[in-house]
Protein backbone atom coordinates (compact mmCIF):
# COMPACT_ATOMS: atom_id res chain seq x y z
CA UNK A 1 0.00 0.00 0.00
CA UNK A 2 1.25 3.50 -0.78
CA UNK A 3 1.39 6.12 1.94
CA UNK A 4 -0.18 8.88 -0.10
CA UNK A 5 -3.03 10.90 1.37
CA UNK A 6 -5.31 13.66 0.14
CA UNK A 7 -7.01 16.23 2.33
CA UNK A 8 -10.39 17.93 1.90
CA UNK A 9 -10.97 21.05 4.00
CA UNK A 10 -14.57 22.19 4.50
CA UNK A 11 -15.87 25.32 6.16
CA UNK A 12 -14.16 28.56 7.09
CA UNK A 13 -10.63 29.95 7.02
CA UNK A 14 -10.06 28.78 10.60
CA UNK A 15 -10.56 25.19 9.47
CA UNK A 16 -8.14 25.80 6.60
CA UNK A 17 -5.47 26.86 9.11
CA UNK A 18 -6.04 23.61 11.02
CA UNK A 19 -5.86 21.62 7.77
CA UNK A 20 -2.51 23.12 6.86
CA UNK A 21 -1.14 22.19 10.30
CA UNK A 22 -2.48 18.64 9.86
CA UNK A 23 -0.62 18.28 6.57
CA UNK A 24 2.70 19.06 8.24
CA UNK A 25 2.20 16.62 11.12
CA UNK A 26 0.84 13.81 8.93
CA UNK A 27 3.80 14.10 6.56
CA UNK A 28 6.18 13.97 9.55
CA UNK A 29 5.30 10.30 10.16
CA UNK A 30 5.84 9.04 6.64
CA UNK A 31 2.76 10.01 4.64
CA UNK A 32 2.87 12.10 1.46
CA UNK A 33 0.25 14.65 0.42
CA UNK A 34 -1.12 14.30 -3.12
CA UNK A 35 -4.00 15.96 -4.95
CA UNK A 36 -7.45 14.50 -4.37
CA UNK A 37 -8.45 11.93 -6.97
CA UNK A 38 -4.89 10.98 -7.96
CA UNK A 39 -2.78 8.35 -6.19
CA UNK A 40 -4.01 8.57 -2.60
CA UNK A 41 -4.91 5.51 -0.58
CA UNK A 42 -6.10 7.66 2.37
CA UNK A 43 -8.40 10.68 2.43
CA UNK A 44 -8.54 13.03 5.41
CA UNK A 45 -11.76 15.06 5.61
CA UNK A 46 -11.56 18.12 7.87
CA UNK A 47 -15.13 19.09 8.61
CA UNK A 48 -17.53 21.83 9.68
CA UNK A 49 -20.75 21.36 11.63
CA UNK A 50 -21.58 24.88 12.78
CA UNK A 51 -25.08 24.78 11.29
CA UNK A 52 -27.27 22.17 9.60
CA UNK A 53 -26.14 23.19 6.11
CA UNK A 54 -22.54 22.48 7.13
CA UNK A 55 -23.54 19.11 8.58
CA UNK A 56 -25.30 18.24 5.33
CA UNK A 57 -22.19 19.16 3.32
CA UNK A 58 -19.98 17.08 5.61
CA UNK A 59 -22.24 14.02 5.41
CA UNK A 60 -22.46 14.32 1.64
CA UNK A 61 -18.66 14.23 1.48
CA UNK A 62 -18.45 11.26 3.85
CA UNK A 63 -20.93 9.32 1.72
CA UNK A 64 -18.99 10.21 -1.44
CA UNK A 65 -15.75 8.94 0.15
CA UNK A 66 -17.46 5.72 1.26
CA UNK A 67 -18.52 5.14 -2.35
CA UNK A 68 -14.90 5.64 -3.45
CA UNK A 69 -13.74 3.21 -0.78
CA UNK A 70 -16.30 0.60 -1.85
CA UNK A 71 -15.09 0.97 -5.45
CA UNK A 72 -11.48 0.43 -4.39
CA UNK A 73 -10.25 3.94 -5.21
CA UNK A 74 -9.15 4.61 -1.60
CA UNK A 75 -8.53 2.30 1.36
CA UNK A 76 -8.89 4.54 4.42
CA UNK A 77 -11.16 7.41 5.45
CA UNK A 78 -10.24 9.74 8.33
CA UNK A 79 -12.88 12.28 9.43
CA UNK A 80 -11.58 15.11 11.55
CA UNK A 81 -12.65 18.38 13.16
CA UNK A 82 -15.98 19.91 14.10
CA UNK A 83 -18.29 17.13 12.89
CA UNK A 84 -16.89 14.35 15.11
CA UNK A 85 -16.66 16.92 17.93
CA UNK A 86 -20.39 17.61 17.79
CA UNK A 87 -21.72 14.04 17.91
CA UNK A 88 -21.11 11.10 20.22
CA UNK A 89 -18.55 8.53 18.95
CA UNK A 90 -20.95 5.61 19.18
CA UNK A 91 -23.52 7.48 17.05
CA UNK A 92 -20.96 8.20 14.32
CA UNK A 93 -19.50 4.69 14.36
CA UNK A 94 -22.95 3.17 13.96
CA UNK A 95 -23.94 5.62 11.20
CA UNK A 96 -20.70 5.34 9.20
CA UNK A 97 -18.89 2.08 10.08
CA UNK A 98 -16.80 2.44 6.89
CA UNK A 99 -14.92 5.42 8.38
CA UNK A 100 -11.58 4.15 9.73
CA UNK A 101 -10.66 7.00 12.06
CA UNK A 102 -12.60 9.76 13.82
CA UNK A 103 -10.72 12.67 15.37
CA UNK A 104 -12.25 15.59 17.29
CA UNK A 105 -10.89 19.13 17.40
CA UNK A 106 -9.45 18.40 20.84
CA UNK A 107 -7.52 15.41 19.45
CA UNK A 108 -6.20 16.99 16.23
CA UNK A 109 -2.67 17.21 17.67
CA UNK A 110 -2.55 13.40 17.81
CA UNK A 111 -4.10 12.71 14.40
CA UNK A 112 -0.75 11.88 12.77
CA UNK A 113 0.23 9.36 15.45
CA UNK A 114 -3.18 7.70 15.33
CA UNK A 115 -3.00 7.48 11.55
CA UNK A 116 0.46 5.90 11.74
CA UNK A 117 -0.74 3.33 14.26
CA UNK A 118 -3.92 2.55 12.35
CA UNK A 119 -2.45 2.40 8.86
CA UNK A 120 1.21 1.47 9.36
CA UNK A 121 0.44 -0.60 12.48
CA UNK A 122 3.26 1.16 14.29
CA UNK A 123 3.73 3.75 16.98
CA UNK A 124 4.86 7.26 16.15
CA UNK A 125 8.35 7.27 14.70
CA UNK A 126 9.78 10.65 13.68
CA UNK A 127 10.90 10.84 10.07
CA UNK A 128 13.02 13.40 8.31
CA UNK A 129 11.25 16.73 8.47
CA UNK A 130 9.73 17.63 5.11
CA UNK A 131 9.45 21.17 3.78
CA UNK A 132 6.35 23.06 4.92
CA UNK A 133 3.51 22.37 2.48
CA UNK A 134 1.07 25.18 1.68
CA UNK A 135 -2.45 24.15 0.71
CA UNK A 136 -3.63 27.75 0.30
CA UNK A 137 -2.23 30.55 -1.88
CA UNK A 138 1.25 31.74 -0.95
CA UNK A 139 0.66 35.48 -1.33
CA UNK A 140 -1.61 35.68 1.73
CA UNK A 141 -2.03 33.63 4.89
CA UNK A 142 -4.50 33.22 7.71
CA UNK A 143 -3.02 33.54 11.21
CA UNK A 144 -5.16 31.78 13.80
CA UNK A 145 -4.42 33.55 17.08
CA UNK A 146 -6.59 31.53 19.45
CA UNK A 147 -8.79 28.47 19.80
CA UNK A 148 -12.29 28.09 21.20
CA UNK A 149 -14.84 30.62 22.41
CA UNK A 150 -16.42 31.71 25.70
CA UNK A 151 -19.16 33.97 24.32
CA UNK A 152 -22.02 31.45 24.26
CA UNK A 153 -24.17 33.34 21.77
CA UNK A 154 -27.67 31.87 21.94
CA UNK A 155 -27.60 30.59 18.33
CA UNK A 156 -24.06 29.18 18.29
CA UNK A 157 -22.64 25.68 18.74
CA UNK A 158 -18.95 26.67 18.61
CA UNK A 159 -18.22 26.65 22.39
CA UNK A 160 -19.53 23.08 22.58
CA UNK A 161 -17.52 22.02 19.52
CA UNK A 162 -14.30 23.98 20.00
CA UNK A 163 -14.14 24.34 23.78
CA UNK A 164 -13.07 27.28 25.89
CA UNK A 165 -11.00 30.17 24.59
CA UNK A 166 -7.20 29.63 24.54
CA UNK A 167 -4.84 32.31 23.21
CA UNK A 168 -1.63 31.57 21.36
CA UNK A 169 1.44 33.43 22.55
CA UNK A 170 2.84 36.41 20.67
CA UNK A 171 6.02 34.39 20.06
CA UNK A 172 4.06 31.51 18.48
CA UNK A 173 2.02 33.87 16.31
CA UNK A 174 5.15 35.72 15.17
CA UNK A 175 6.81 32.42 14.29
CA UNK A 176 3.82 31.44 12.17
CA UNK A 177 3.73 34.88 10.54
CA UNK A 178 7.41 34.79 9.62
CA UNK A 179 7.09 31.28 8.17
CA UNK A 180 4.20 32.42 5.98
CA UNK A 181 6.04 35.57 4.91
CA UNK A 182 9.10 33.50 3.99
CA UNK A 183 6.84 31.57 1.60
CA UNK A 184 5.61 34.77 -0.02
CA UNK A 185 2.74 36.08 2.10
CA UNK A 186 2.21 39.82 1.61
CA UNK A 187 -0.98 39.80 3.70
CA UNK A 188 -1.58 38.24 7.12
CA UNK A 189 -5.24 37.76 7.99
CA UNK A 190 -5.93 37.53 11.73
CA UNK A 191 -8.66 34.97 12.50
CA UNK A 192 -10.13 33.21 15.55
CA UNK A 193 -13.60 32.44 16.83
CA UNK A 194 -13.34 35.86 18.52
CA UNK A 195 -10.13 37.77 17.80
CA UNK A 196 -10.93 40.46 20.37
CA UNK A 197 -10.82 37.87 23.19
CA UNK A 198 -7.10 37.36 22.55
CA UNK A 199 -4.94 37.65 25.65
CA UNK A 200 -7.67 37.30 28.29
CA UNK A 201 -6.34 33.95 29.49
CA UNK A 202 -2.71 35.18 29.39
CA UNK A 203 -2.93 38.72 30.74
CA UNK A 204 -6.24 38.65 32.63
CA UNK A 205 -8.03 40.94 30.19
CA UNK A 206 -8.65 40.95 26.43
CA UNK A 207 -5.87 42.94 24.76
CA UNK A 208 -5.72 42.43 21.00
CA UNK A 209 -3.92 45.79 20.86
CA UNK A 210 -0.96 44.17 22.65
CA UNK A 211 -0.71 41.53 19.93
CA UNK A 212 -0.94 44.16 17.18
CA UNK A 213 1.95 46.01 18.79
CA UNK A 214 3.91 42.74 18.79
CA UNK A 215 3.36 42.40 15.03
CA UNK A 216 3.90 46.04 14.02
CA UNK A 217 7.40 45.44 12.60
CA UNK A 218 6.28 42.82 10.08
CA UNK A 219 6.43 43.92 6.44
CA UNK A 220 2.94 42.73 5.46
CA UNK A 221 -0.64 43.92 5.47
CA UNK A 222 -2.42 42.84 8.65
CA UNK A 223 -6.16 42.36 8.18
CA UNK A 224 -8.49 41.91 11.17
CA UNK A 225 -11.40 39.48 10.99
CA UNK A 226 -13.99 38.20 13.52
CA UNK A 227 -14.02 41.28 15.77
CA UNK A 228 -16.63 40.82 18.53
CA UNK A 229 -18.42 44.17 18.98
CA UNK A 230 -18.82 44.02 22.77
CA UNK A 231 -15.03 43.85 23.23
CA UNK A 232 -14.19 46.85 21.05
CA UNK A 233 -12.58 49.55 23.20
CA UNK A 234 -11.12 53.02 22.51
CA UNK A 235 -7.68 51.51 23.10
CA UNK A 236 -8.24 48.87 20.40
CA UNK A 237 -9.59 51.42 17.93
CA UNK A 238 -6.53 53.59 18.55
CA UNK A 239 -4.22 50.62 17.97
CA UNK A 240 -5.90 49.77 14.66
CA UNK A 241 -5.67 53.42 13.59
CA UNK A 242 -2.00 53.92 14.52
CA UNK A 243 -0.29 50.56 13.90
CA UNK A 244 1.31 51.17 10.50
CA UNK A 245 0.86 47.71 8.98
CA UNK A 246 -2.74 47.20 10.17
CA UNK A 247 -4.84 48.05 7.11
CA UNK A 248 -8.11 50.03 7.30
CA UNK A 249 -10.42 47.03 7.18
CA UNK A 250 -12.46 45.49 10.01
CA UNK A 251 -14.66 42.40 9.82
CA UNK A 252 -17.12 42.72 12.73
CA UNK A 253 -20.10 40.33 12.65
CA UNK A 254 -22.96 42.18 14.37
CA UNK A 255 -25.77 39.68 13.50
CA UNK A 256 -28.56 42.18 14.20
CA UNK A 257 -29.20 45.77 15.28
CA UNK A 258 -32.40 45.48 17.31
CA UNK A 259 -31.62 45.78 21.02
CA UNK A 260 -34.20 43.22 22.13
CA UNK A 261 -32.99 40.62 19.64
CA UNK A 262 -29.34 41.32 20.49
CA UNK A 263 -30.20 40.56 24.12
CA UNK A 264 -31.97 37.32 23.15
CA UNK A 265 -28.89 36.40 21.10
CA UNK A 266 -26.68 37.04 24.18
CA UNK A 267 -24.50 39.47 22.22
CA UNK A 268 -23.64 41.58 25.34
CA UNK A 269 -24.35 44.97 23.80
CA UNK A 270 -27.24 47.02 22.46
CA UNK A 271 -27.93 49.01 19.30
CA UNK A 272 -26.63 52.27 20.77
CA UNK A 273 -23.29 50.63 21.54
CA UNK A 274 -22.99 49.44 17.92
CA UNK A 275 -23.78 52.90 16.61
CA UNK A 276 -21.20 54.47 18.91
CA UNK A 277 -18.33 52.13 18.05
CA UNK A 278 -18.96 52.36 14.31
CA UNK A 279 -18.97 56.15 14.59
CA UNK A 280 -15.77 56.06 16.67
CA UNK A 281 -14.07 53.67 14.23
CA UNK A 282 -14.85 55.84 11.22
CA UNK A 283 -13.71 58.97 13.04
CA UNK A 284 -10.38 57.39 14.04
CA UNK A 285 -9.56 55.27 10.96
CA UNK A 286 -9.53 57.14 7.65
CA UNK A 287 -11.09 55.33 4.66
CA UNK A 288 -12.12 52.37 6.84
CA UNK A 289 -13.83 49.44 5.09
CA UNK A 290 -16.30 47.63 7.35
CA UNK A 291 -17.61 44.13 6.80
CA UNK A 292 -20.38 42.51 8.82
CA UNK A 293 -22.93 39.69 8.82
CA UNK A 294 -26.62 39.52 9.74
CA UNK A 295 -28.79 36.58 10.79
CA UNK A 296 -32.33 36.70 9.40
CA UNK A 297 -35.28 34.93 11.01
CA UNK A 298 -33.95 34.59 14.56
CA UNK A 299 -36.83 33.59 16.87
CA UNK A 300 -38.95 36.64 17.62
CA UNK A 301 -37.76 38.67 14.64
CA UNK A 302 -40.51 40.67 12.96
CA UNK A 303 -40.79 42.58 9.70
CA UNK A 304 -40.21 45.80 11.64
CA UNK A 305 -36.85 44.42 12.81
CA UNK A 306 -35.82 43.90 9.17
CA UNK A 307 -36.77 47.49 8.37
CA UNK A 308 -34.61 48.48 11.35
CA UNK A 309 -31.59 46.77 9.75
CA UNK A 310 -32.20 48.59 6.46
CA UNK A 311 -32.54 51.92 8.27
CA UNK A 312 -29.31 51.17 10.13
CA UNK A 313 -27.55 50.55 6.81
CA UNK A 314 -28.87 53.88 5.53
CA UNK A 315 -27.32 55.67 8.50
CA UNK A 316 -24.10 53.71 9.03
CA UNK A 317 -22.10 52.78 5.94
CA UNK A 318 -21.21 49.08 5.83
CA UNK A 319 -19.01 48.30 2.84
CA UNK A 320 -19.47 44.53 2.70
CA UNK A 321 -22.17 42.36 4.26
CA UNK A 322 -23.10 38.72 4.38
CA UNK A 323 -26.65 37.70 5.29
CA UNK A 324 -27.72 34.24 6.44
CA UNK A 325 -30.92 32.54 7.46
CA UNK A 326 -31.14 31.49 11.10
CA UNK A 327 -30.46 27.80 11.58
CA UNK A 328 -32.05 26.24 14.70
CA UNK A 329 -29.37 24.08 16.29
CA UNK A 330 -29.98 21.52 19.06
CA UNK A 331 -28.19 22.20 22.35
CA UNK A 332 -28.23 25.98 21.88
CA UNK A 333 -30.28 28.37 23.98
CA UNK A 334 -32.14 29.73 20.96
CA UNK A 335 -33.32 26.21 20.06
CA UNK A 336 -35.67 26.40 23.05
CA UNK A 337 -37.17 29.75 22.02
CA UNK A 338 -40.64 29.91 20.53
CA UNK A 339 -41.77 32.37 17.86
CA UNK A 340 -40.25 30.41 14.98
CA UNK A 341 -39.95 32.32 11.70
CA UNK A 342 -40.83 30.16 8.64
CA UNK A 343 -37.91 29.24 6.38
CA UNK A 344 -39.50 30.96 3.36
CA UNK A 345 -39.79 34.19 5.34
CA UNK A 346 -36.16 33.93 6.48
CA UNK A 347 -35.02 33.60 2.88
CA UNK A 348 -37.16 36.54 1.75
CA UNK A 349 -35.64 38.71 4.47
CA UNK A 350 -32.12 37.79 3.39
CA UNK A 351 -32.97 38.81 -0.18
CA UNK A 352 -34.51 42.08 0.98
CA UNK A 353 -31.51 43.12 3.06
CA UNK A 354 -29.00 42.12 0.38
CA UNK A 355 -30.95 43.98 -2.31
CA UNK A 356 -30.96 47.06 -0.09
CA UNK A 357 -27.21 46.73 0.47
CA UNK A 358 -26.38 46.25 -3.21
CA UNK A 359 -28.31 49.37 -4.18
CA UNK A 360 -26.27 51.37 -1.67
CA UNK A 361 -23.06 49.65 -2.66
CA UNK A 362 -23.51 50.37 -6.36
CA UNK A 363 -23.88 54.08 -5.67
CA UNK A 364 -20.74 54.10 -3.50
CA UNK A 365 -18.74 52.18 -6.11
CA UNK A 366 -19.61 54.71 -8.81
CA UNK A 367 -18.41 57.53 -6.55
CA UNK A 368 -15.02 55.81 -6.21
CA UNK A 369 -14.27 55.66 -9.93
CA UNK A 370 -11.03 57.46 -10.70
CA UNK A 371 -9.50 56.50 -7.35
CA UNK A 372 -6.04 54.87 -7.36
CA UNK A 373 -5.43 51.89 -5.07
CA UNK A 374 -2.59 49.43 -4.47
CA UNK A 375 -3.68 46.03 -5.73
CA UNK A 376 -2.36 42.69 -4.45
CA UNK A 377 -2.38 40.59 -7.62
CA UNK A 378 -3.91 37.11 -7.27
CA UNK A 379 -3.79 35.74 -10.81
CA UNK A 380 -6.34 35.34 -13.60
CA UNK A 381 -6.43 39.08 -14.16
CA UNK A 382 -7.76 39.83 -10.66
CA UNK A 383 -6.57 41.23 -7.37
CA UNK A 384 -7.63 42.96 -4.18
CA UNK A 385 -6.83 46.18 -2.37
CA UNK A 386 -6.77 46.71 1.40
CA UNK A 387 -10.55 47.21 1.18
CA UNK A 388 -11.35 43.62 0.11
CA UNK A 389 -10.73 40.34 1.95
CA UNK A 390 -10.19 37.09 0.03
CA UNK A 391 -13.10 34.77 -0.74
CA UNK A 392 -15.81 36.91 0.88
CA UNK A 393 -15.58 40.32 -0.84
CA UNK A 394 -15.45 41.62 -4.40
CA UNK A 395 -12.29 41.67 -6.51
CA UNK A 396 -10.72 44.21 -8.87
CA UNK A 397 -10.51 42.96 -12.46
CA UNK A 398 -7.69 44.33 -14.58
CA UNK A 399 -8.74 45.86 -17.88
CA UNK A 400 -5.69 44.73 -19.85
CA UNK A 401 -5.08 41.58 -21.93
CA UNK A 402 -2.69 38.97 -20.49
CA UNK A 403 -1.55 40.85 -17.37
CA UNK A 404 2.25 40.40 -16.99
CA UNK A 405 2.09 39.94 -13.21
CA UNK A 406 2.63 37.14 -10.73
CA UNK A 407 0.48 36.40 -7.65
CA UNK A 408 1.81 38.55 -4.84
CA UNK A 409 2.85 41.49 -7.02
CA UNK A 410 1.75 44.90 -5.77
CA UNK A 411 0.39 47.17 -8.50
CA UNK A 412 -0.97 50.74 -8.52
CA UNK A 413 -4.38 50.54 -10.20
CA UNK A 414 -6.92 53.22 -11.15
CA UNK A 415 -10.55 52.21 -10.72
CA UNK A 416 -12.24 52.75 -14.09
CA UNK A 417 -15.51 50.83 -13.98
CA UNK A 418 -17.85 48.40 -12.23
CA UNK A 419 -18.97 44.92 -13.32
CA UNK A 420 -21.53 43.34 -11.02
CA UNK A 421 -20.07 43.73 -7.54
CA UNK A 422 -16.48 43.89 -8.84
CA UNK A 423 -14.41 46.91 -9.81
CA UNK A 424 -12.65 47.23 -13.15
CA UNK A 425 -9.19 48.76 -12.90
CA UNK A 426 -6.29 49.72 -15.10
CA UNK A 427 -2.64 49.68 -13.97
CA UNK A 428 -1.37 53.25 -13.67
CA UNK A 429 1.75 52.42 -15.68
CA UNK A 430 -0.14 50.59 -18.47
Domains, the chain, with CATH or none:
4-120 (3.40.50.12160), 140-368 (3.80.30.20), 372-427 (2.40.50.140)
Residue 134 pLDDT grade (very low, low, confident, very high; cuts 50, 70, 90): confident
pLDDT at 126: 54
In this prediction, residues 36-43 reach a mean pLDDT of 92
| pTM passes above 0.95 | no
Phi first, then psi: give them for residue 312, nearest 5 degrees. Answer: -60, -45
Distance, C-alpha 352 to centroid of its chain: 25
CA-atom Rg of the chain in angstroms:
23
Alpha-carbon distances of 30 from 17, 76, 103, 116, rounded to whole Å: 21, 16, 19, 8
Pairing of strands 42-47, 4-9: parallel
Nearest to 26 by CA among 45, 44, 8: 44
What is d(CA 285, CA 204) in angstroms, rounded to the nearest whole number? Answer: 28
What is d(CA 106, CA 126) in angstroms, rounded to the nearest whole number? Answer: 22
pLDDT at 339: 79
pLDDT at 108: 86
Residue 76 has pLDDT above 60, yes or no: yes
Nearest to 396 by CA among 368, 418, 366: 418
Q: Residues for the chain: how many in total?
A: 430
Alpha-carbon distances of 360 from 152, 305, 310, rounded to whole Å: 33, 19, 10
Give me the percent of the chain exceeding a pLDDT of 90: 79
Highest mean pLDDT among 35-44, 78-87, 121-130, 222-231: 222-231
Residue 125 pLDDT grade (very low, low, confident, very high; cuts 50, 70, 90): low
User: Rounded mean pLDDT of the chain?
Assistant: 93
In this prediction, residues 370-384 reach a mean pLDDT of 96
Residue 334 has pLDDT above 90, yes or no: yes
In this prediction, residues 298-327 reach a mean pLDDT of 96
Residue 2 has pLDDT above 60, yes or no: yes
Check if the beta carbon of residue 413 is closer than 8 Å to that of residue 398.
Answer: yes
Residue 1 pLDDT grade (very low, low, confident, very high; cuts 50, 70, 90): low
Pairing of strands 166-167, 146-147: antiparallel
Residue 128 pLDDT grade (very low, low, confident, very high; cuts 50, 70, 90): low
Q: Is 29 left (phi over 0), alpha (psi -120 to 50) or beta?
A: alpha
pLDDT at 123: 54
Q: Write the pLDDT tens digit of every residue in 229-250.
A: 999 999 999 999 999 999 999 9
pLDDT at 429: 86
Residue 92 pLDDT grade (very low, low, confident, very high; cuts 50, 70, 90): very high
Distance, C-alpha 234 to centroid of its chain: 25
Cβ neighbors of 182 (< 8 A, separation 6 or more) are: none
Q: Write the pLDDT tens digit of every residue in 264-294.
A: 999 999 999 999 999 999 999 999 999 999 9
Give me the percent of the chain exceeding a pLDDT of 70: 97
Residue 121 pLDDT grade (very low, low, confident, very high; cuts 50, 70, 90): confident
Check if the beta carbon of residue 66 is closer than 8 Å to that of residue 98.
Answer: yes
Q: Write the pLDDT tens digit of every residue in 410-426.
A: 999 999 999 999 999 99
Residue 122 has pLDDT above 70, yes or no: no
Check if the beta carbon of residue 393 is closer than 8 Å to that of residue 422.
Answer: no
Q: Is 402 left (phi over 0), alpha (psi -120 to 50) or beta?
A: left
In this prediction, residues 130-155 reach a mean pLDDT of 90
Phi first, then psi: give them for residue 422, nearest 5 degrees. Answer: -90, 155
Alpha-carbon distances of 200 from 146, 162, 184, 207, 294, rounded to whole Å: 11, 17, 31, 7, 27
Amino acid sequence: MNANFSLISLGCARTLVDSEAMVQSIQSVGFTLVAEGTTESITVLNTCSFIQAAIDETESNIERLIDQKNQGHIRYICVVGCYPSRFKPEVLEEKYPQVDLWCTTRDEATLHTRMAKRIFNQKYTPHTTKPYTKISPSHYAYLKISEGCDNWCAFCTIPKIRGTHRSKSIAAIREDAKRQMAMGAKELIIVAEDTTAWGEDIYGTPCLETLLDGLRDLDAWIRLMYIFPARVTPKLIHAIATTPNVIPYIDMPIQHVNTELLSRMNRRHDKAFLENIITDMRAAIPHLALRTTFICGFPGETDDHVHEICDFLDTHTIDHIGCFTYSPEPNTRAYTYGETVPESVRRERVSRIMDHHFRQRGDRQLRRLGETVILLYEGNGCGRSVYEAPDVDNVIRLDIPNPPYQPGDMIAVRLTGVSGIDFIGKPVDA
